[in-house]
């Protein structure tokens, strides 16, 4: 696919999966059904910031996957201009640990505040897909995202609610389910963090 067309089609993903073939498409044709919004300047800037390898992967996704990605993105209004995915993940981990501390100390307020903060986490600069390995930008891999999102964010809100009811037993069980969501996503989209490229003998070098 020629570069320019790839970029335009990629912008179209951000506009909701519709296919825009040229710039004049930004004026809706009267009587052509619901007006199709052009991507916002922020969305265009995001797509421009992607390397061609990533853009091309995104363009190849199915319309369903593109719509799902947009929906996930819309559920997260806190977009960071500076934080990387690892930084966001460290914040999420801190919130998770604070939830566990609150459960252990029978502090419902701590559990509830931390759980809601976790559920309302920021999106790293460039968006989630910028941090996934390009070979994982496939319909099959990305189809798992909503389930992980529900397990982690929906789960954190359930933990908060259980704690506020004074039910720390249930909060403790649900906390485990949240962690299962973290682990599932890591197994699919991430390796072991911080592996050294200087350990030339690989697995054999481990104890």
Q: Is residue 178 part of the contact set for ligand HEC (CB under 6 A)? A: yes
What's the closest the beta carbon of residue 34 comes to ligand HEC, in angstroms? Answer: 30
Of 49-57, 61-69, 106-114, 176-184, which part binds ligand HEC (CB under 6 A)? Answer: 176-184
Q: Is residue 123 part of the contact set for ligand HEC (CB under 6 A)? A: no
- How far apart (Å, rounded) are the C-alpha atoms in residues 157 and 114? 9
Contact criterion met (CB below 8 Å) for 59 and 11: no
- How far apart (Å, rounded) are the C-alpha atoms in residues 47 and 117? 28
- 111 token code pair: 């559990």
Q: Is residue 19 part of the contact set for ligand HEC (CB under 6 A)? A: no
Contact criterion met (CB below 8 Å) for 53 and 1: no
Longest CA pairwise span in the chain (Å): 68
- How far apart (Å, rounded) are the C-alpha atoms in residues 119 and 14? 23
Site string for ligand HEC, 95-114 (x = CB under 6 A): -x------------------
Torsion of Cα atoms, 44 then 49 then 55 then 59, to 10°:
-10
Candidates 1, 53, 93, 104: give the one binding ligand HEC (CB under 6 A).
93
Site string for ligand HEC, 28-67 (x = CB under 6 A): ----------------------------------------
Q: Is residue 83 part of the contact set for ligand HEC (CB under 6 A)? A: no
Burial 119-148 (b: 16+ CB within 10 A, else e): bebbbbbbbbbebbeeeebeeeebeebeeb
What's the closest the beta carbon of residue 189 comes to ligand HEC, in angstroms? Answer: 4
Candidates 86, 134, 166, 199: give the one binding ligand HEC (CB under 6 A).
86
Q: Would you tell me which residues interact with ligand HEC (CB under 6 A)?
A: 85-86, 89-90, 92-93, 96, 131-132, 145, 148, 152, 178, 181-182, 185-186, 189-190, 193
């Amino acid at each position: 696919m020629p570069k320019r067309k790839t970029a335009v089609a990629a912008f179209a993903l951000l506009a909701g999966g519709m296919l825009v073939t040229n710039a004049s498409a930004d004026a809706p044709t009267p009587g052509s059904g619901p007006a199709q919004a052009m991507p916002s300047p922020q969305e265009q800037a995001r797509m421009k910031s992607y390397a061609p390898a990533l853009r091309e992967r995104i363009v190849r996704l199915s319309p369903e996957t593109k719509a799902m990605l947009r929906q996930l993105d819309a559920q997260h209004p806190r977009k960071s201009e500076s934080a990387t995915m690892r930084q966001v993940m460290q914040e999420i981990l801190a919130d998770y640990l604070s939830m566990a501390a609150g459960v252990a100390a029978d502090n419902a307020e701590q559990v509830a505040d931390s759980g809601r903060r976790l559920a309302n986490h920021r999106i790293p600069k460039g968006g989630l897909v910028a941090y996934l390995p390009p070979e994982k930008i496939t319909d099959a891999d990305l189809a798992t995202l909503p389930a992980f999102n529900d397990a982690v964010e929906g789960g954190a809100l359930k933990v908060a609610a259980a704690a506020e009811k004074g039910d720390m037993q249930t909060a403790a069980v649900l906390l485990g389910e949240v962690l299962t969501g973290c682990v599932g996503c890591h197994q699919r989209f991430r390796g072991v963090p911080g592996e050294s490229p200087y350990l030339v003998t690989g697995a054999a070098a481990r104890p």
